[in-house]
Structure 1
Amino acid sequence: MKYRTEKDSLGKVSIPADTYYGIQTWRALQNFPVSGLLPDPRYVKASVLIKKAAALANYRLKLLDKDIYQAIIFACDRILAGYHSDQFVVDPFQAGAGTSHHMNINEVIANIASEKLGFPKGIYTRVHPHNHVNLAQSTNDVIPAAARLTVLLYWPDLASAVDKTVAVFQKKGREFAGIHKSGRTHLSDALPVTLGQEFKAYASALKNDLKRLQASRKNLFYLGLGGTAVGTGVNSHPAYRKLVIKELAKLTGLKLKAAPDSAESMQNVADLLDFSGALRILSQNLIRISNDLRLLSSGPGTGLAELTLPEVQAGSTIMPGKVNPSLLEMLTMTAFQVIGSDQTILLASMHGQLELNVFLPVVVHNLTNQIRILTNALGAFESKYLRFVEADREMCNYWLEKSSGLAAILNPHLGYEKAAELYRESRKSKIPITELVVKKGLMTSQKAKAVFDLKKIIKPNLTGNKK
């Protein structure tokens, strides 16, 4: 392997000659061999988009020579087109603030641009990573902006995954609307419901979660670009801040705006924490719903078995024919991970100090991972489980007929105490309440049939007849 030598204020380093990254990236590779993970691709894209917008702004402000500006734009476009993705190599667990990731971005762009102008890699006499690619910028304003932009780039996929899941729950709610079953509270018999009612409620919960995400997303459009190192904008043109955000908005098609207080945008990652919190709420709902669906499909011989599981894989290495709720288990574990990541983001958020929150790299890593795995998990759940889950009408009716929760229907007719007596007697004698109330002469068969009419007892059913 051939090497080239690069030098910085710490000394000289030999770097593989064919790499587009430089000495600062090489030092990061040596210093932070932590997880073996690479930066999120959309985080890289967001960072490069900011670099392109900065070059556009600085050229318009006559701070960059035309050939340097064009070479930087060429380099950014090559990366955005999918070339050189293997050059972004810094571990997510790295130096504070994201300095190492930022230097990796600057060096790759500088070397591609230098080659375009006829200079070999590592020779920064014409295009320099700091002096040109990073002109009017700092890690402290670029990385927070890149973090926000990354979430916005991920948003369409996430929103689509949640929306599709909501739509299928709603469809199943309509499909199951005529299937009556026993409700259960405290995991015990309760008043009747329909299976469609349960699925419709799941759709409503997730629809509300999507609204929370949409609300928290709105704050991410405000960027602190142009604040440079400490929010003052030093080492940038007075018009740079407004112009760079304008250029970035054009490049992305997003309605980006300048943060009201650029210093605050460096110190505070609460907007990212807010979005993570909305993901956490979505995740806890997915856990709750998955738990319900696993209970309702438990069996098939010794459980509730009100739902039939789509068969996606063998469930056991020792029990032939066994089918497990594999996709529900996967979704639940994914949601566990999202909630754990939210806790990490909370800790990183509260430990920012003075002019900067240096723990942003771990925020970006966890937030992008949250969004990516939740999007993918929802896609698999919706396409491989939810579309194909079916109701077992016979089992729903079986448990409904045995349900002691039907006793509550008698409250307006016989009173709470008498209904409680019948409940206990029904449990002891194993005679369904619908039959016991007739057997004891408390209602005629016709009256009991009317009182326990399933179509009437799943909605408000009292009529006023007292003066």
Structure 2
Amino acid sequence: MTTRIEHDLIGNRDIPAQAYWGVHTLRAVENFPITGVPISHYRELILSLALIKQAAAQANHEIGLLDDVKAQAIVGACEEIRAGKLHQEFVVDSIQGGAGTSTNMNANEVIANRALELMGKQKGEYQYLHPNEHVNMCQSTNDAYPTSLRLATYMGLLQLGAALERLKLHFAAKAEEFNDVLKMGRTQLQDAVPMTLGQEFQTYAVMLGEDQQRLLEASQLMLEINMGATAIGTGICAHPDYAPLVCKHLAKLSGFALVTAPNLIEATQDCGAFVQVSGVLKRIAVKLSKICNDLRLLSSGPRAGFGDINLPARQAGSSIMPGKVNPVIPEVVNQVAFEVIGNDMTVTMAAEGGQLQLNAFEPVIAYSLFRSVSHLIAACDTLGENCVKDITANRDFLKQQVENSIGLVTALFPIIGYAAATEVAGEAFHSGGSVSDIVLARGLMTREQLDEVLQPAELTRPRWVSL
């Protein structure tokens, strides 16, 4: 393997000649063998880094700090990365010490070496174009890295919002399909009052719609960036015109309505926006898990459970029990939810652990957020496509449950009174008789009155009937 020699403050190192990364990246790879997940695993992060470096080059060229040749080379390299090239060169581990410096250095080196090639030079000939002096001009890790996390998170949140919409539509379609299916509602796992299966599934669609709104609100926090802050927010080593220009170019390149934070010192150290986004992701996870708990309960059986609905069979459920089918799709979504809830605690503690003018723990915040977002997207899609869209209802069984339910007595108590209704319920429970037969036998209502009150359409909406 041919190599080139690169130098840093520690000394010289041999770098593979074909590598676009350099000595700083090599040190990071050696220092942080933590997760085995390189930053290239998160495509949106690499795209965000390229956007930021391109916007910085354009701003610095507009100011007059970068000449035409260097600026065009940097922009050209960034555009290639945005097109999907060289992502494999982003090799540092996602969790790293140094507050993201290794990620920023990795980006600077890859972009610089590709830019050198575009200039007709060799990799490592930094006297012509330098990773830190030119690619990183007017920047620090402490503004470039947090901004890349915000852009990448925003991109992921847009995708998650779309996934929630797809899942919501699946539940809404089932709500329409099951609109005429009467069943018993349950509170505390006990029979309550009748409802339709459509109402039950529409509830899930509404829950997801609410989460979409909360996600949209939280995502707006990611659009406030601290580019121009440099080291701690004072803007040292940045041109006075740089901050507004880089924000303008970055907004144009990304298509996002980015704004510069009003106080860059605060924005450089405060991770509260990430905490809020993580909290919304936890909310989504909790709601998804609750829905999946319901689906598993409603489909339990097939003979000794609730048996209200049937989930589509996706695989054999047991290596020893022939014919057994398990609710594997809701189960995997439950597990994603548990992970997201744990990730939220990681984000919380990492944000709290920041000290003074910088939070050194943003890499684990990013790792946790990116995993939560990507796994929630996958969970929504597999739940919708591999489960919800093919759910069926046990219509005859549900009808029989309603007709035999003691819960029907609730619809009668405005007419016969709470005390009489309680006695009817008790007799029905102990004798096994139907509520209707007991009410008729006691002379509390006529058959015509019962038929009127117990119409399916009247049992699932507000109505007050008294004799």
Amino acid paired to 1:267? Q
Partner of 1:406: 408
Partner of 2:19: 19
Comparing 146-155 with 221-230, greater Cα deviation is found at: 146-155
Shift of 1:131: 0.4
In 2, Cα distance between equivalents of 1:442 and 1:115: 93
Q: Does 1:9 align with 2:9?
A: yes
Amino acid paired to 2:162? S
Amino acid paired to 2:130? H
In 2, Cα distance between equivalents of 1:412 and 1:41: 61
In 2, Cα distance between equivalents of 1:261 and 1:398: 65
Preserved CA contact (<8 Å) 1:144 1:265: no
In 2, Cα distance between equivalents of 1:255 and 1:106: 25
Preserved CA contact (<8 Å) 2:251 2:257: yes
Q: Does 1:70 align with 2:72?
A: yes
Unaligned runs of 5+ in 2: none
Preserved CA contact (<8 Å) 2:25 2:105: yes
Partner of 2:388: 386
In 2, Cα distance between equivalents of 1:282 and 1:35: 26
Amino acid paired to 1:434? S
For residues 58-115 of structure 1, the C-alpha deviation after alignment (integer angstroms, 9 at most, x for no partner) is 0010001211111111111121111111110111111131011110000111111112
Q: Does 1:38 align with 2:38?
A: yes
For residues 425-448 of structure 1, the C-alpha deviation after alignment (integer angstroms, 9 at most, x for no partner) is 111111121222112332222222
Aligned-partner SS, 1:230: coil
Shift of 1:464: 7.5
Preserved CA contact (<8 Å) 1:434 1:452: no
Partner of 2:29: 29
In 2, Cα distance between equivalents of 1:130 and 1:27: 16
Amino acid paired to 2:391? V
Preserved CA contact (<8 Å) 1:96 1:360: no
Partner of 2:152: 150
Q: Does 1:90 align with 2:76?
A: no
Partner of 2:187: 185
In 2, Cα distance between equivalents of 1:117 and 1:442: 95
Unaligned runs of 5+ in 1: none
In 1, Cα distance between equivalents of 2:15 and 2:136: 22
Amino acid paired to 2:134? H
Q: Does 1:103 align with 2:105?
A: yes
Aligned-partner SS, 1:462: coil
Shift of 1:459: 1.3
Aligned-partner SS, 1:455: helix
Q: 1:438 to 1:463 in 2, by over 3 A?
A: closer
Shift of 1:123: 2.2
State the superposition RMSD in angstroms. 1.3
Amino-acid identity (%): 41
How many positions carry a matched residue from both structures?
465
In 1, Cα distance between equivalents of 2:99 and 2:404: 62
For residues 282-335 of structure 1, the C-alpha deviation after alignment (integer angstroms, 9 at most, x for no partner) is 110001111111111111111111111112212111222222111111111111
Superposed structure 1 runs of 4+ greater than 4 Å apart: none
**1:377 counterpart (372, 376, 379):** 379
Amino acid paired to 1:302? A
Amino acid paired to 2:148? A
Partner of 2:452: 450
Shift of 1:463: 4.8
Aligned-partner SS, 1:97: coil
**2:353 counterpart (328, 346, 351):** 351
Preserved CA contact (<8 Å) 1:182 1:399: yes
In 1, Cα distance between equivalents of 2:191 and 2:334: 26
**2:439 counterpart (416, 419, 437):** 437
Partner of 1:162: 164
Partner of 1:424: 426
Preserved CA contact (<8 Å) 2:96 2:102: yes
Amino acid paired to 1:141? D
